[in-house]
A and B are shown apart, each in its own frame.
Chain A
């Protein structure tokens, strides 16, 4: 019996391996957040569980495919399904009681992006963003046009989806916000049990975001949100605005912000994070500088941000009361997560 011995071109194989090794300049890393704001204690467990679950889902994809865009999408899809977060299912409602969502996905290598604003009736806005990025020459689609695009590209879109996206808690919260807006301010409220914001700004937040970097230093960033409770229909926030709520450029970093959308937009928070990093600020400080600038110019605005630098360093910070977050770095293989200032819980990462 003659065994066929494969003829291997070792020279070619050697060159190929060298080329891949040259391209490999960073270790994998993934960071997610589940929103910055004032989060009632009773909500902490589900937020912490939710960001970990989202992180695991994204990291599995990142390890398996080395594709940061797919990893960011996977993390965000988990949070869009999770009632704990203000995205997809669980989104805050407009003053008319509907779900309208903003989202974005940016690829840092060629700066291509897809984004939606005030889009209804779709369960996974982040996936619609990916389709816009890959299949159209545009970046941002809003309103009915965004919904129409989703329908034409095979996303399930039905009027009942909006009802399916409405969590009882969101409806409850809307009723309380609307009531507060009409009730005289002399009414005392017990803030420890009361998570209904008095004005648009001091709510739980719950916008979700993710940034991933692969072994080639390629970065992707994404954000998804239902926006602020009782917003006007048609209102678009900072999330789908590059340099505002989200940013991604392999030459600098990937970043995502959360908080009062109008304040983030007006001060271009993520652009400021990128600029601060370029000036040599350390990642956590870069996030804080940008947020503090925002609050100094717009006192009613506060929030949080996450960042992954081009070298795979992790940063996050918040000047709101809480921000749920989680991250993992390949060289550590440990999931870090938290929600209060100073939290750094850890759990070893093991493959499922």
Chain B
């Protein structure tokens, strides 16, 4: 009884944020063919199940984000880890980031090769170094030093997306996102205490130059997390997202009280207006547990589940909102 009184008082004072655990994920924005969309829906549901189970079991949003992204990195249907697109040299170079909204610690990797789960390397950067961002050859060596097995690029190439840029393109560098590129993956989780984590993982742009890093691993561009504001993960034309600082702008609007989905659409449309020919999508969870997801590309693969509701929502097409119950796996 005393415990109840004490908790009530704490809640009233506001020192204990009682929040609904929520996980939201995305699997890329762009033009997704209906064949690819079917694979994406399967991937979205599998990922959200894995991630949300972890969130319920551990109340640890970092573990939940990593688990959700692992599923997508392992799936050939997404441009992350296995299934990543190829650089102009026929290589796979990946970017990833994870941000802890409570203390703003972050770990990120850029243009890193030979690793199936870049999100896990990003987490190691955060937890076991004084740095935030490691790139290139040393990111790979660092992964190995932390016990992560290195794999040859051939093992990361999935038939459905790979092989298209196997050699340096004679047509010149492909600069626009094509449907091949769709599939940067991201996740945002909030736990029962209001702690927020955001993560993003990607193989980047098809035919990109060696060493090219996109928006995903740059704080404020593709990803952001701050318990006082929101967690955000974005996807689309990377260079435009860097130049427009999409995640930062979405966070600013949310801080000003704008509804999360509305904030996202405003920022994306502003980007397209300033940098014509670009587009993308974005997901968010605000500090108050409001979710947002929107896109101004043709499609965005997305899914979310809330603890208060236990129903998985997911979709790819505009206006699509499919549901399936989330069933807790007894441990």
**Do residues A118 and B248 form an inter-chain contact, with CB atoms below 8 A?**
no
**Do residues B211 and A236 form an inter-chain contact, with CB atoms below 8 A?**
no
**Do residues B242 and A148 form an inter-chain contact, with CB atoms below 8 A?**
no
| Residues of B close to A283: CB separation below 8 A | none
**Do residues B239 and A137 form an inter-chain contact, with CB atoms below 8 A?**
yes
**Do residues B133 and A236 form an inter-chain contact, with CB atoms below 8 A?**
yes
- In the bound complex, what is the Cα–Cα distance between A21 and B114 (angstroms)? 57
Q: Which of B103-111, B258-266, B308-316 forms part of the interface with chain A?
A: B103-111
Within B101-123, the residues touching A (CB, 8 Å) are 103-106, 110-111
**Do residues B213 and A141 form an inter-chain contact, with CB atoms below 8 A?**
yes
Minimum C-beta distance from B128 to chain A (A)? 11
**Do residues A143 and B220 form an inter-chain contact, with CB atoms below 8 A?**
no
**Do residues A140 and B243 form an inter-chain contact, with CB atoms below 8 A?**
no
Number of interface residues of A (CB under 8 A): 40
Q: Which of B22-30, B135-143, B286-294, B297-305 forms part of the interface with chain A?
A: B135-143
| Residues of A close to B274: CB separation below 8 A | 111
B328 within 8 A of A: no
Name B244's closest neighbour in chain A (CB-CB): A111
**Do residues B244 and A262 form an inter-chain contact, with CB atoms below 8 A?**
no
- In the bound complex, what is the Cα–Cα distance between A166 and B209 (angstroms)? 28
**Do residues A142 and B110 form an inter-chain contact, with CB atoms below 8 A?**
yes
Interface flags, A234-265, vs B, CB<8A=1, else 0: 11110001111000000000000000011001
Within B182-237, the residues touching A (CB, 8 Å) are 208-214, 218-221, 224
Known: A118-B136, A266-B219. A111 touches B209 (CB 8 A): no
Interface residues of A (CB under 8 A from B): 111-113, 117-118, 136-146, 148-149, 200, 231-237, 241-244, 261-262, 265-268, 271, 275, 297-298
Interface residues of B (CB under 8 A from A): 103-106, 110-111, 129-139, 141-142, 173, 175, 208-214, 218-221, 224, 239, 242-245, 248, 252, 274-275
What are the 7 A-B residue pairs with the smallest beta carbon separation, nearest first? A145-B211, A143-B136, A234-B138, A145-B210, A137-B175, A142-B135, A243-B220
List 8 A–B pairs whose Cβ atoms lie within 8 Å, in order of A's numbering. A141-B212, A144-B137, A234-B137, A236-B134, A242-B218, A262-B131, A265-B132, A268-B248
